[in-house]
């Protein structure tokens, strides 16, 4: 296969002035979209190239990390198995200073990042990239990143679409404030890959890691039915792109369709626990399959923790097995969705179980509405697998709901809102600032009056004028709950 060397012909580019004193990540999502017509096996195909999720992040030593994902897709589907396209991508970082590639799939040639040759064996290839720009102090003026693709055989560019900035929950790089001294991570702890029998359409473990990174998760676990080896397949990829990963699997009681399911998580290394009769544990010690109590103990003894998966029981009561696990504190967390019964929320608060918002996704995330991405917010001492496990065991989580609500214990949701929201008074105006990634809404009370307010993520809203700064502002948050029908109220001093 012969590649045409990149001719530096630009098909898409963007420029962004850096904020020299930006105290948090500079957030932008970049999309460069190109079409390449290809003919193979008598069919006209198109390669679509997207450069997206670009992040420029200041590192502690004054350098700048640049990262993103190049996504190449081939349409129409299905991909003809006898065809083999080769693609080589290059990124030109037009910066006044030097840089070095951080991702193994890329190499450096002067100011070009060149990808390894990529072969299409399915309709989509994701190529994450990362580089460090040294001497970031030089970057006070505008600079450019340009992407281009060389293909075999050589193809011409037909269309490109310029970049756009956007924010939404579930996308990457929305800064979160520190909460009560903890760092906040976004997690999804129940994800299937194509290594699950019922998830043939799902991405491979490696592509799931890339996809999760792309959608904004900081930490994930791949929890296929019956086994825990997806972790081993995705581990290197996750490490390269800086995604934290726990080892996981889904298992549980007898009958895959009717029995209770549990998500088991470990820090990483292959545990001593050997899965047995997965999804078929017996309820009785004399049963034909492994007795659930022995399996549950085995998971705990090997350093694992358990989350009760989708406990949306029709009966409104737990089975004897689940009661035994609750009474003996074998659950660290419980999945919860707003449409499920309130007693699960009550139970989580009573037993200090982590509230877990999981996708349990069996398909590509692109196939579902991105706004439907559930997020578990984890408060960690340290952003690593041990830190995440500890936080789940200690109940330091909140759940961000599909329909736009934040739920958790009063302690954590209050700490979050107090860290994210600031009330100030300036030039006769009362101003609310939301410095966090979650959109908030509610009613504001001050000087004897009230008004509704909507605070998108990272927004500043003027709520009214006053002769003098009010002594105190109270807010009832319509989308923040610390129990069924318990809505958070916060009181704020007014900064002047």
Which residues on adjacent β-strands are paired with residue 65?
Answer: 57, 132
Within 8 A by CB and 6+ apart from 364, the residues are 201, 202, 203, 211
Stretch that binds Zn ion, among 53-61, 67-75, 360-368, 454-462 (CB under 5 A): 360-368
Task: List the x/- string, 158-197, binding to Zn ion by CB under 5 A.
Answer: ----------------------------------------
Nearer to Zn ion, 85 or 330 (CB): 330
Stretch that binds Zn ion, among 39-47, 68-76, 261-269, 485-493 (CB under 5 A): 261-269
Nearer to Zn ion, 88 or 278 (CB): 278
Q: Which residue is nearest to Zn ion (CB)?
A: 261
Nearer to Zn ion, 309 or 355 (CB): 309
- Return d(Cα 134, Cα 118) in angstroms, integer: 28
Q: State the minimum distance, in angstroms, from the CB of residue 334 to Zn ion.
A: 14
Token couple for 121: 């064996």
- Return d(Cα 10, Cα 14) in angstroms, integer: 11
Task: List the x/- string, 213-252, binding to Zn ion by CB under 5 A.
Answer: -------------------------------------x--
Q: How would you classify residue 310: left for phi > 0, otherwise alpha for psi between -120 and 50, otherwise beta? A: left
Stretch that binds Zn ion, among 43-51, 102-110, 356-364, 375-383 (CB under 5 A): 356-364
Q: State the minimum distance, in angstroms, from the CB of residue 192 to Zn ion.
A: 6
Biggest CA-to-CA distance, the chain: 77
**Residue 360 within binding range of Zn ion, rule CB under 5 A:** yes
Nearer to Zn ion, 171 or 360 (CB): 360
Token couple for 386: 């041990």
Nearer to Zn ion, 133 or 309 (CB): 309
Q: State the minimum distance, in angstroms, from the CB of residue 411 to Zn ion.
A: 30
Nearer to Zn ion, 263 or 469 (CB): 263
| Residues, the chain | 496
Nearer to Zn ion, 119 or 197 (CB): 197
- Return d(Cα 268, Cα 244) in angstroms, integer: 10
Q: State the minimum distance, in angstroms, from the CB of residue 281 to Zn ion.
A: 14
Which residues on adjacent β-strands are paired with residue 254?
Answer: none
Tell me if 358 sits within 8 A of 172, measured CB to CB: no
Q: By CB under 5 A, what part of segment 290-309 binds Zn ion? A: 309
Q: What is the DSSP letter of 161?
A: E
Stretch that binds Zn ion, among 44-52, 140-148, 329-337, 355-363 (CB under 5 A): 355-363
Q: State the minimum distance, in angstroms, from the CB of residue 431 to Zn ion.
A: 44
Tell me if 292 sits within 8 A of 253, measured CB to CB: yes
Nearer to Zn ion, 65 or 360 (CB): 360
Residue the block writes with tokens 């269309």: 159
Q: State the minimum distance, in angstroms, from the CB of residue 312 to Zn ion.
A: 11
Packing angle between helix 230-241 and helix 205-215, nearest 10 degrees?
Answer: 40
Q: State the minimum distance, in angstroms, from the CB of residue 222 to Zn ion.
A: 11
Q: By CB under 5 A, what part of segment 55-84 binds Zn ion? A: none
Tell me if 477 sits within 8 A of 492, measured CB to CB: no
Q: State the minimum distance, in angstroms, from the CB of residue 307 to Zn ion.
A: 11
- Return d(Cα 216, Cα 376) in angstroms, integer: 12
Nearer to Zn ion, 103 or 337 (CB): 337
Token couple for 201: 């359409």
Q: State the minimum distance, in angstroms, from the CB of residue 190 to Zn ion.
A: 6
Stretch that binds Zn ion, among 4-12, 83-91, 227-235, 357-365 (CB under 5 A): 357-365
Q: b/e map of 415-450 (b: 16 or more CB within 10 Å)?
A: bbbebbbbbbbeeeebbbbbbbbbbbbbebbbeeee
Q: State the minimum distance, in angstroms, from the CB of residue 256 to Zn ion.
A: 8
- Return d(Cα 90, Cα 77) in angstroms, integer: 26
- Return d(Cα 245, Cα 264) in angstroms, integer: 13
Burial class (CB in 10 A: 0-12, 13-18, 19+), 363: middle
> By CB under 5 A, how many residues form the interface with Zn ion?
4
Q: Which residues bind Zn ion (CB under 5 A)?
A: 250, 261, 309, 360
């Amino acid at each position: 296969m012969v590649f045409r060397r990149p001719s530096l012909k630009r098909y898409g580019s963007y420029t962004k002035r850096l904020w020299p004193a930006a105290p948090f990540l500079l957030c932008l999502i970049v999309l460069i979209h190109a079409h390449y017509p290809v003919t193979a096996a008598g069919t006209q195909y198109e390669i679509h190239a997207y450069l997206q999720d670009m992040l420029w992040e200041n590192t502690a030593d004054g350098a700048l990390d640049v990262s993103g994902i190049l996504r190449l897709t081939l349409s129409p589907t299905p991909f003809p198995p006898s065809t083999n396209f080769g693609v080589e991508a290059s990124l030109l970082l037009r910066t006044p200073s030097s840089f070095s590639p951080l991702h193994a799939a890329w190499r450096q040639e002067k100011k070009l990042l060149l990808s390894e040759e990529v072969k299409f064996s399915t309709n989509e290839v994701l190529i994450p990239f990362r580089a460090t720009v040294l001497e970031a102090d030089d970057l006070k003026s505008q600079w450019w990143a340009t992407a281009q693709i060389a293909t075999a055989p050589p193809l011409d560019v037909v269309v490109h679409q310029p970049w756009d900035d956007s924010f939404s929950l579930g996308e990457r790089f929305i800064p979160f404030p520190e909460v009560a001294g903890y760092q906040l991570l976004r997690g999804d702890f129940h994800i299937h890959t194509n290594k699950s029998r019922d998830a043939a359409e799902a991405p491979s473990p490696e592509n799931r890691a890339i996809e999760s990174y792309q959608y904004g998760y900081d930490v994930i676990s791949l929890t296929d039915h019956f086994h825990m080896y997806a972790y081993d397949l995705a581990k290197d990829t996750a490490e390269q792109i800086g995604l934290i990963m726990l080892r996981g699997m889904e298992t549980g009681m007898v009958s895959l369709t009717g029995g209770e399911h549990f998500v088991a998580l470990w820090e990483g290394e292959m545990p001593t626990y050997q899965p047995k009769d997965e999804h078929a544990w017996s309820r009785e010690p004399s049963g034909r399959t492994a007795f659930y109590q022995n399996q549950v103990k085995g998971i705990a003894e090997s350093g694992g923790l358990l989350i009760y998966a989708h406990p949306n029981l029709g009966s409104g009561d737990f089975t004897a097995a689940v009661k035994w696990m609750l009474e003996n504190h074998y659950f660290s967390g419980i999945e919860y969705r707003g449409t499920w019964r309130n007693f699960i929320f009550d139970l989580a608060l009573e037993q200090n179980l982590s509230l877990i918002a999981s996708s349990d996704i069996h398909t590509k995330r692109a196939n579902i509405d991105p706004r439907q991405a559930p997020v578990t917010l984890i408060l960690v001492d340290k952003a690593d697998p041990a830190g995440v496990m500890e936080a789940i065991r200690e109940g330091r989580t909140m759940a961000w709901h599909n329909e736009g609500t934040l739920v958790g214990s009063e302690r954590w949701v209050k700490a979050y809102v107090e860290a994210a929201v600031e009330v100030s008074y300036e030039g006769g105006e009362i101003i609310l600032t939301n410095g966090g990634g979650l959109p908030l809404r509610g009613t504001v009370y001050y000087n004897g009056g009230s008004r509704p307010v909507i605070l998108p993520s990272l927004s500043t809203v003027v709520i009214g004028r006053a002769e003098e700064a009010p002594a105190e502002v109270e807010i009832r948050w319509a989308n923040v709950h610390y129990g069924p029908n318990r809505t958070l109220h916060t009181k704020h001093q007014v900064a002047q």
